[in-house]
């Protein structure tokens, strides 16, 4: 009698179950396919987010490959630490301040925005009288619309 499991068709530790003249493979966890030939975790090796400390994950030959930021190293960027200011996210001479794996920008006078990307008009009050006049105008305008 013909045994379809005799040739050991199931791969990667899968178990073969004979069904008349054909067979089914029962795959180990993480494996799939008619012959258990596909490793589910490697089909998208970056889906498990293996890169640490802000590393970027790419799949190469079915394996995860991490590009580490400058302060991290190791196959999975597991050594060192991630500093979000490494990429110099603040524009227009803004100062980057690291806060809990994110950053804030201290913008110089005349700029604003999350990354100091908006340049505006900087008003400098050289005259105490000018400052009083502007405040008075604002109060008058505010009282008109109340």
Token pair, residue 144, equals 């008109």
Q: Average pLDDT of 95-111? A: 88
Question: Best-predicted range by mean pLDDT among 26-30, 56-60, 79-83, 89-93?
Answer: 89-93
User: What's residue 49's pLDDT?
Assistant: 82
pLDDT at 42: 54
pLDDT at 61: 66
Q: What angle do CA 55, 61, 67 make, to 5 degrees?
A: 15
User: Is residue 57 classed as helix, strand or coil in its secondary structure?
Assistant: strand
Name the residue with tokens 């890169």: 51
Q: 19 to each of 23, 28, 32, 144, how far by Cα in Å?
A: 5, 19, 19, 88
Tell me the mean pLDDT in the region 15-21. 89
pTM over 0.95: no
């Amino acid at each position: 009698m013909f045994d379809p499991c005799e040739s050991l068709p199931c791969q990667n530790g899968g178990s073969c179950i004979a069904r008349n003249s054909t067979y089914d493979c029962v795959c180990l966890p993480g494996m799939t396919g008619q012959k258990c030939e596909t490793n589910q975790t490697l089909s998208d090796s970056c889906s498990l987010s293996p890169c640490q400390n802000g590393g970027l994950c790419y799949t190469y030959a079915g394996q995860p490959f991490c590009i580490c930021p400058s302060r991290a190293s190791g196959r999975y960027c597991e050594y060192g630490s991630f500093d979000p200011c490494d990429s110099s996210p603040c524009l227009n001479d803004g100062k980057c301040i690291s806060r809990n794996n994110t950053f804030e920008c201290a913008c110089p006078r005349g700029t604003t925005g999350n990354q100091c990307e908006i340049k505006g008009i900087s008003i400098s009050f050289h005259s105490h009288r000018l400052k009083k006049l502007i405040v008075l105008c604002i109060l008058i305008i505010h009282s008109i619309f109340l």
